[in-house]
Amino acid sequence: MNEPLADRECPDPPQAAECPQPPQIDWHPSEFADLYAEHSRAIFYLALRFLSDPQKAEDATHDVFLKAFRKMDQFRGEASWRTWLYRIAINHCRNLQQSWNERHMFSNADEAVWENAVAQSDSPFRLLETKELGERIQKALDALPDEYRLLLLLIADEQLSYEEVGTLTEQSADAVRGKLHRARKAFAILFKKTE
Amino acid sequence: MKQQKKFNSEQQQEHVSEQQLTHNTARDFASVEELLRYDASQTQTPAAIAQRLQKSSADLPRPARSWWQRLFQR
């Protein structure tokens, strides 16, 4: 794998011949605006449904993009912009959650709860009134373990592959598939309860 | 009599539009993902975020492009 110029060991102070430093080219504000326009909805939606609070989600989205703006020079193109932004967002939301000491209804040890529950996760969700949809989805997501909630939100984004979701949640794509099965089932049970 | 007929017709129309409303708002989603995708598509990003970002980033130095961005110049 090619080592990025920035990561090569350079003498201190660097000597131009040994360690060429390309001239700094600044990001044009309109390029950052394009990035925001393309990905802000996905990041805001993740923050909204993960944090369960519109105001906190607004603050988090602002902070995520500001952090991205500051760190744009660190983006190496190994992942897509979307994945990179999601990584910042997930870390940010998790930190916020920890600092608020939010309760966790189920730990990973409780996964069996969903495995043994009787529900048809493959059955379609029929809604007669879509205006309350957001509220019902939020209630169901709030009752899920954080890990399941995050998996469902990420996998719902068609731009992300199982591999990318696995990278973002620090597990293999196969593990993602396995957990998704339980996450879908759990969501179906909880969503039914919101009727 | 004519008035009664008109009244019935109005009632009928009302009933039909109610049915249409119910029909229009009823939706089937095949999976959780589809449901969440629809929910995401209905969620608007508050305009205030962009305005706040503009203010917050105004005082910051422009970020430099990383090595590969300079190479490929997107």
ipTM: 0.74
What's the confidence (pLDDT) of residue A75?
A: 83
In the predicted model, what is the mean pLDDT of chain A? 79
The 10s digit of each residue's pLDDT in A44-83 is: 999 999 999 999 999 999 999 999 998 888 888 888 999 9
Exposure class string for A93-132: b at 16+ Cβ within 10 A, else e: beebbeeeeeeeebeeeebeebeeeebebeeebebeeeee
* Stronger pLDDT, A155 or A29, i.e. the higher one: A155
Whether A133 has its CB under 8 Å from any CB of chain B: the answer is yes
State whether B69 and A45 contact (CB < 8 Å): no
A90: which 2 tokens?
Answer: 């997930």
Ramachandran region of residue B45, left (φ > 0), alpha (ψ -120 to 50) or beta?
beta
Nearest to B60 among A61, A69, A157 (CB): A69
Partners of A183 on chain B (C-beta within 8 Å) are 32
Is pTM, for the whole model, over 0.90? no
Query: What is the nearest CA distance from A167 to chain B, expressed in angstroms?
Result: 19
Instruction: Decide: helix, strand or coil at residue A125.
Output: strand
What's the confidence (pLDDT) of residue A154?
A: 98
**How confident is the prediction along chain B (74 residues), in pLDDT tens digits per residue?**
445 544 455 555 544 444 444 344 567 889 999 999 999 999 999 999 999 998 888 877 776 655 455 555 54
Eight-state DSSP code of residue A9:
-
The 10s digit of each residue's pLDDT in A98-109 is: 887 555 554 444
State whether B70 and A65 contact (CB < 8 Å): no
Give yes or no for residue A11 having a pLDDT over 50: no
Q: How confident is the model at residue A3 (pLDDT cuts 50, 70, 90)?
A: very low
